[in-house]
Structure 1
């Protein structure tokens, strides 16, 4: 009886101590440059995106236009072109990044220079694609594979099938396999399963992670997808390889890909 009274008391205290607090959220101009960009071993025009930080949630970021952006690999310096003008998106000439070579990014804007560097590591082969039936559709299932940290992009589309009866018949699922043990990852909030029908085409792209890129993704996930579960870590700034005045990450990665039709 006494044990029941103690439990009831603590339950009462937990409920009684809850109080709603609607605090105003303040924002201010940090003048930071946000950098998003990744070079891969694919022979394409790679993109570097420059924006300002969000001031409010779900706001469209302000592009940084008119910057001079270059990438060097130790022997050649590539000048990027902003396309379209005013977009804040800068594209390299066609190039292919290779492993064990350091690539350096330089951004000159408003009489300041921001720099970063990264180097690609090899990527392991893609594991088998796993999925299972859920009601009248299918869902992807994931498990760690290989020894090295990586993430896998899954681009799914059934736009050209009879199952496409809505305006949007496509989606993207990303699986991060950082080879770390993080309690906030283990107990992260549940996400709604992304379901798809038969005859869906799935394009997978597996990215290798340099040690610095892995650290960036780990800190980013701790502040986003892994937050809100049973065990949260103390809030902190997401790591970066950019020089002072810029945030985000400039990454160089090795990629392998494949395509599967669900039948």
Structure 2
């Protein structure tokens, strides 16, 4: 009896896991939205605000939003951004760094419409020791949650200047998101292809803090991208945003720490 019950549960699980591929025509429409991609950090640099129009078809190259007036302000200073190069939709600040005790507000004026967003940085916890292990023909990162606060870590890996580099593609990037949430679609997300790198590789890590709003944006974005395709997908929906009506994406302010490791 137990065997029959277990078999029935397995068959039910398999039937729920199967997906049938259906090719349906995609219907696109002009929404007059603009897409905003930007993150300010505590690094003293020219920070980028990228403005584009939404995709109308899959794999389409985004059309830049050019000719906008873009500024960023805090409680005391107004920064005017410059589009470089002209027509690119990429707007750069003067040299500046964001600090944790200020609220930063993005203001965009385009085609006589105004768009705004605000965010503030929270402190970031120090990086722990980088862990990697022998795997495949080289090494593989061992990625685990760390610290108490939500964060994500970019790992830029390169073996360009080693004897193991025998072609043009001798680098890669892995991003590990640690949102400090329990999401069933994250737990049962599709597997990724394993990434291996040789001895002598250089790994540059950059750890980003998240405000509460930025965390919710990343959570909704991951639910629609990396976490989609498992057996517990959520209902499709637009990602959250901190931008005013007529714009999508996110304007984030984050604190960053970084380090460099050479794989021995």
How far apart, CA to CA, are the structure 2 residues paired with 1:261 and 1:180?
32
Secondary structure at 1:192 match in 2: coil
Match of 1:177 in 2: 178
Q: How far apart are the structure 2 equivalents of 1:57 and 1:164? A: 33
* Superposition misfits of 4+ residues, deviation over 6 angstroms: none
Distance in structure 2 (CA, Å) of the matches to 1:92 and 1:19? 48
Q: In structure 1, what is the equivalent of residue 51 of structure 2?
A: 50
Give 3-state SS (helix, strand or coil) of 2:241's partner: coil
Q: Which residue of structure 2 aligns with residue 74 of structure 1?
A: 75
2:149 matches 1:148: yes
In structure 2, the residue matched to 1:87 is: 88
Task: State the 1:235 CA deviation.
Answer: 1.0
- Is the partner of 1:174 in helix, strand or coil? strand
- Structure 1 position 21, deviation (Å): 3.4
Alignment correspondent of 1:188: 189
Relative to 1, partners in 2 of residues 1:39 and 1:19: Cα closer, same or farther, differing over 3 Å?
closer
Q: Distance in 2 between matches of 1:203 and 1:18?
A: 39
The worse-fitting range, judged by mean Cα deviation, of 156-165 and 216-225 is 156-165
Residue 162, structure 1, aligned to residue 163, structure 2? yes
Tell me the CA shift for residue 22 of structure 1. 2.5
**Aligned-partner Cα distance in 2 for 1:24–1:215:** 31
Equivalent residue number for residue 200 of structure 1: 201
- Residue 197 of structure 1: SS of its match in structure 2? coil
Give the gaps of 5 or more residues in structure 2. none
Q: What is the RMSD of the two structures over their aligned residues, measured on CA atoms?
A: 2.1
SS at match of 1:217: helix
Deviation at 1:47, TM superposition (A): 0.3
Separation in 2, partners of 1:18, 1:155 = 34
Aligned to 1:35: 36
Q: Secondary structure, in 3 states, of the residue corresponding to 1:218?
A: helix
CA contact (8 A) 2:136 2:196 kept: no
Secondary structure in structure 2 of the residue aligned to 1:215: helix
- Cα deviation, residue 149, structure 1: 0.2
Q: Show CA shifts across 1:71-115 (max 9, x none).
A: 001111000000111110000000010002100000000000000
Give the whole-Å Cα distance in 1 for the aligned partners of 2:70 and 2:241. Answer: 18
TM-score, normalised to structure 1's length?
0.93
The 1:123/1:3 distance shift into structure 2, 3 A limit, reads: closer
Q: Which residue in the other structure is 2:215 paired with?
A: 214
For residues 29 and 73 of structure 1, what CA distance do their matches in structure 2 show?
A: 34
For residues 121 and 147 of structure 1, what CA distance do their matches in structure 2 show? 13
Number of equivalent positions: 259
- In the alignment, the residues of structure 2 paired with residue 57 and residue 157 of structure 1 have an alpha-carbon distance, to the nearest angstrom, of 30
Cα distance in 1 between the residues matched to 2:175 and 2:62: 23
Query: Equivalences for 1:103-142 in 2 at 5 Å?
Result: 103-142=104-143
